[in-house]
């Protein structure tokens, strides 16, 4: 399967597999340094963060706990609904824990600002954010992502965990979805 080959589904690749992996290694080294001597629990946001959790956690040369949450902010389309709802909650208590949320993409920031507040209200000692991608709109909200893989333009992207109607998550790169598929 080479979906990038004919441009019918993937208009263009904006972040290659190699770029993703080398950036994750860099950020993992930074995280190890920042959290030296400290507790660390990664909370992956399902389903988009599956690839980032799997790769980032393997680059972290230290112990980490891992847990998952599933929330909705997008429906089947490509526009944020602004509604955040928990579909799957954490399995573990995070009282007093140092949390790093692992997200696929920061767009309007609605999801992450809600999630950060939610985790702090459960008594987490600290809550920081790792996101693979960040879109320009993120600048308008007060969510600070401490670790950002790549700043990308405001286009609908798929791959590396990101889907369109549950497809394309398994692409190892990030690409712009051809507009004719959703407009
Ligand atoms: P926000 O709340 O920051 O607007 O949106 C965050 C969520 O929207 C992400 O976790 C992701 O599920 C979805 N999202 C935002 N932009 C894109 C995009 O370009 N492609 C895909 N597939 N999902 C996106």
Mean pLDDT by runs of 10 across the 183 residues of the chain is: 80 97 98 98 96 98 97 62 83 97 92 92 98 85 90 96 96 95 87
Residue 99 Cα to ligand 1 midpoint, Å, equals 21
**77 assigned to some structural domain:** yes
Name residue, tokens 């007093």.
Answer: 96
**164 assigned to some structural domain:** no
Query: Please, which residues have CB within 8 angstroms of residue 107's CB and are 6 or more apart in sequence?
Result: 80, 135, 137, 138
**36 assigned to some structural domain:** yes
Per-residue model confidence (pLDDT) at position 7: 77
Joined together, the tokens standing for residue 183 give 């407009």
Q: Clarify whether 34 is annotated catalytic.
A: no
Q: Domain of 67? A: 20-152
Pocket probe for ligand 1: among 53, 73, 79, the residue whose CB has the most ligand atoms within 8 Å is 73
Q: Are strands 157-158 and 174-177 parallel, antiparallel or unpaired?
A: antiparallel
**135 assigned to some structural domain:** yes
Residue 107 CA, closest ligand 1 atom number: 3
**64 assigned to some structural domain:** yes
Q: Which residues line ligand 1 (CB under 6 A)?
A: 48, 73-74, 80, 103-112, 156-158, 162-164
**162 assigned to some structural domain:** no
Please tell me the total count of domains within the chain. 1
Residue 133 Cα to ligand 1 midpoint, Å, equals 9
**28 assigned to some structural domain:** yes
Q: pTM here? A: 0.92
Catalytic residue, chosen from 55, 104, 107, 163, is 107
Give the angle 6-172-55 at the CA atoms, nearest 5°: 175
**54 assigned to some structural domain:** yes
> Domain with 86 in it: what CATH number?
3.40.50.2020
Residue 147 Cα to ligand 1 midpoint, Å, equals 17
């Amino acid at each position: 399967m080479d979906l990038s080959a004919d441009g019918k589904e993937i208009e263009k690749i904006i972040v290659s597999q190699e770029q993703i992996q080398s950036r994750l290694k860099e950020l993992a080294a930074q995280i190890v340094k920042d959290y030296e001597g400290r507790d660390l629990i990664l909370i992956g946001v399902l389903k988009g963060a599956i690839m980032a959790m799997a790769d980032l956690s393997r680059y972290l040369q230290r112990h980490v706990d891992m847990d998952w949450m599933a929330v909705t902010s997008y429906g089947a389309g490509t526009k944020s609904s602004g509604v955040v709802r928990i579909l799957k909650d954490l399995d573990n208590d995070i009282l007093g824990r140092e949390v790093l949320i692992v997200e696929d993409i920061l767009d309007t920031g609605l999801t992450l600002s809600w999630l950060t507040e939610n985790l702090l209200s459960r008594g987490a000692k600290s809550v920081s954010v790792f996101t693979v991608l960040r879109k320009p709109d993120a600048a308008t909200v007060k969510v600070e992502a401490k670790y950002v893989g790549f700043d990308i333009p405001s286009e609908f992207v798929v791959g590396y965990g990101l889907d369109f109607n549950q497809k394309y998550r398994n692409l190892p790169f990030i690409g712009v979805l051809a507009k004719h598929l959703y407009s």
